[in-house]
Structure 1
Amino acid sequence: MIEMPVEVSANSGAGAERAKERVRKGQAPIVPARGVAGNALVLVIAIMTFLSCLTLGAVTMVRDTAAAWQTQIAREATIQIKPDEGLDMEAALAESASIAGGFPGVTGTRIIDRNATARLLEPWLGAGLNMDELPVPRLVILTVDRASPPDFAALRSALTEKVPGLILDDHRTWVDRLVSMSRTTVTIGLTVLALILLATVLTVVFATRGAMAGNGHIIEVLHFVGAEARFIAKEFRRNFLVTGMKGAVAGGFAAVLVFLGFSLWSSRNLATPQADQAMALFGNFSIGVLGYAGVVFIVALIGAITAATSHATVVAHLHGLEVRQPDG
């Protein structure tokens, strides 16, 4: 570490200019040379950025998947008819489809036949299911006009009048639960993201204080001969901005690789049970253009936070020196 023999005198302005010139030329660096501590800070920032990008990407996927679920559920309704003694199931299905199909707001009806019903139950009850041995309800799927949905209360009344025991499910309960779940998940994700950014700020604060402690005598001499606080803070801000951007870019790039890897895996495993279940929950693991734009935003944000936090820490430290050692 190079000493800075600057003599504090009445001509402090000239002394400050000479000291600042030596700093600019690198003869008396304010910020210690990069070493183990600097490399560790880059690694910590890279990890924080990686976790932040993963959190933001997960929130984006949950939001997009929930929106797709909500759209799909909201455009359909289901008529469920339970088997009963003396009930002609096929006639009841046809009549229900006919009544619903003529109702304003219903754009189409589809009866789930026996074979399709057996396939729906196959994952739980096995293949070769005899529909006559179990009281399995039969379904009619209604396609709903989302812009002008039907009056479900009137439709339910008209259907139950003709087919007693019929159940009309408009999926509103599921939509409400889905919206609540997605909002809760997004809130938790954003809270985690905020905590990660807070941890990044605290890490930079401690790193800046450590750097100031390493060259404390140079900083104090510069300050008391008249160097502006913004000049000293600028040196730290520039150094920490470079450090922060290196770590942030590395962490963001690693997160992009993870997202691309999951997307590639899902595209190569289409039509497999594992991929079908994963895609039903998370979509195709693609965060889309907005997701990748969010990664770029996180990288820039963490770089800016690193520089701003370092600047504020140095200014606060110099203010503390003035309070502890007032003029005169």
Structure 2
Amino acid sequence: MNENRVPRRESNPPPQQQQRRSEMRVRPTGPIVPSVNVSGHALMCVIAIMSFLGCLTLGGVSMVRATAQSWQSQISREITIQIKPDDNLDMERALADARDLALTFSGTTGGTIIDRAATARLLEPWLGGGLDLNELPVPRLVVVTIDESNPPDFAAMRKALTETIPQAFLDDHRTWVDRLVAMASTTTMIGTGVLVLVFSAMVLTVVFATRGALSGNRHIVEVLHFVGAEASFVAAEFQKHFLRISLKGAGAGGLLAALSFALASFWQSQTLATPETDQATALFGTFAIGYTGYLGIFGIIVVIALLTTLTARLTVMRTIYEIDLIRSDPGRTDTFQG
């Protein structure tokens, strides 16, 4: 025997067989849950609408709260001294004395006498133009700015003004501030209640829409479970599917709400000093919601995505549990209908 015989080289497989093996290696596996169907599109639209409404309500509440706080801050920074006219009173001197007396108290930062022209402009919306204040018993005002963190003693200031100028009356705006605080609190509570209702409706809608979408794929769950797939594996596949749907829908709704606030703010900045903008600003303030409002919109998007994913998982687990109950009951031959 020839010990130095060269070993025989195995022949290569035919080219067609090599190509078939290559295709088998690179062929991607299809998703367990159909990625595109009618129920998925409907659920995405529902999530987008409810996300838009929730984000719009949250932004509105934030805007109203910011406007109310601004009003409260502006009112609480000033006090007003009102001097009624009298035949034996030198009004200009009384105004100057009242301002100087108020500035002697600690906590005051400045004082301004409202002149005749400014007083006439204040009364013009009610009494019309061309007013002659000498013919009308119109009180004159002194506006005193105060330090909000260290306000003056209003009782002592009121007593000193009354003793010096009997016609003077100090208005510290406490009544208006209390009313404004009550109004702001009521508005915030109403807005929060609306937000809770919208969010509750969104929760219920997402739950029922998710269950409806899963009921159409119940046969997939049954087949996978019958061939030995674990419940956690099936639930994870459905979670991925509904997470993608919820992120797309919630992201679209949140982006549309943020874009609406941005466009409203841009419109307001471009139409200043017009009657429409002045009325809108007087009622609602500025349409800017700030970074906290946009963070709230992002938070709603995340909550909706997590809620939809959790609902899908719980629904799949419950479906598999019901299938196991049917299989464990030999007396039942019917198939459970969800």
Specify the alignment match of 1:205 in structure 2. 207
Length-normalised TM-score, structure 2 = 0.82
Q: 1:209 to 1:158 in 2, by over 3 A?
A: same
For residues 162-184 of structure 1, the C-alpha deviation after alignment (integer angstroms, 9 at most, x for no partner) is 22242211112222222222222
3-state DSSP class of the match of 2:149?
Answer: coil
Specify the alignment match of 2:234 in structure 1. 232
For residues 84-126 of structure 1, the C-alpha deviation after alignment (integer angstroms, 9 at most, x for no partner) is 3433322221221111111111111111011000111222222
Matches within 5 A, 1:1-328: 25-26=29-30, 29=32, 31-32=33-34, 34-223=36-225, 226-322=228-324, 326=328
3-state DSSP class of the match of 1:168?
Answer: strand
Q: 1:274 to 1:195 in 2, by over 3 A?
A: same
Specify the alignment match of 1:10 in structure 2. none
For residues 217-265 of structure 1, the C-alpha deviation after alignment (integer angstroms, 9 at most, x for no partner) is 3323434555333222222221111111111111112112211111111
* Identical-residue share of aligned pairs (%): 58
Residue type at the aligned position of 2:38:
V
Please state how far the C-alpha of 1:304 moved relative to its aligned partner: 1.7
Please state how far the C-alpha of 1:312 moved relative to its aligned partner: 2.1
| Preserved CA contact (<8 Å) 1:78 1:168 | yes
Q: Distance in 2 between matches of 1:229 and 1:63?
A: 47
Length-normalised TM-score, structure 1 = 0.84
Query: Number of matched residues?
Result: 303
Q: Distance in 2 between matches of 1:222 and 1:35?
A: 20
Structure 1 unmatched runs, 5+: 1-23
Q: Distance in 2 between matches of 1:239 and 1:119?
A: 65
Please state how far the C-alpha of 1:42 moved relative to its aligned partner: 1.4
Structure 2 unmatched runs, 5+: 1-27, 331-338
Structure 1, 190-199 or 234-243: larger mean CA deviation? 190-199
Q: Distance in 1 between matches of 2:310 and 2:78?
A: 51
In our comparison, the structure showing a higher alpha carbon Rg is: 2
Residue type at the aligned position of 1:141:
V
Q: 1:325 to 1:165 in 2, by over 3 A?
A: farther
| Preserved CA contact (<8 Å) 1:159 1:166 | yes
Structure 1, 217-226 or 266-275: larger mean CA deviation? 217-226
Residue type at the aligned position of 2:105:
F
For residues 121-174 of structure 1, the C-alpha deviation after alignment (integer angstroms, 9 at most, x for no partner) is 222222211212332221110110122110001100111112224221111222
| Preserved CA contact (<8 Å) 2:210 2:308 | no
Structure 1, 211-220 or 305-314: larger mean CA deviation? 211-220
Q: Distance in 2 between matches of 1:61 and 1:311?
A: 36
| Preserved CA contact (<8 Å) 1:65 1:281 | no
Please state how far the C-alpha of 1:321 moved relative to its aligned partner: 4.3
Residue type at the aligned position of 1:81:
I
Q: 1:205 to 1:60 in 2, by over 3 A?
A: same
Q: 1:206 to 1:266 in 2, by over 3 A?
A: same
Residue type at the aligned position of 2:282:
A
3-state DSSP class of the match of 1:80?
Answer: strand
| Preserved CA contact (<8 Å) 1:204 1:310 | no
Q: Distance in 1 between matches of 2:101 and 2:213?
A: 78
Q: Distance in 2 between matches of 1:82 and 1:92?
A: 10
For the aligned residue pairs, the C-alpha RMSD in angstroms reads 2.2
Please state how far the C-alpha of 1:307 moved relative to its aligned partner: 1.2
| Preserved CA contact (<8 Å) 2:46 2:206 | no
Q: 1:83 to 1:167 in 2, by over 3 A?
A: same
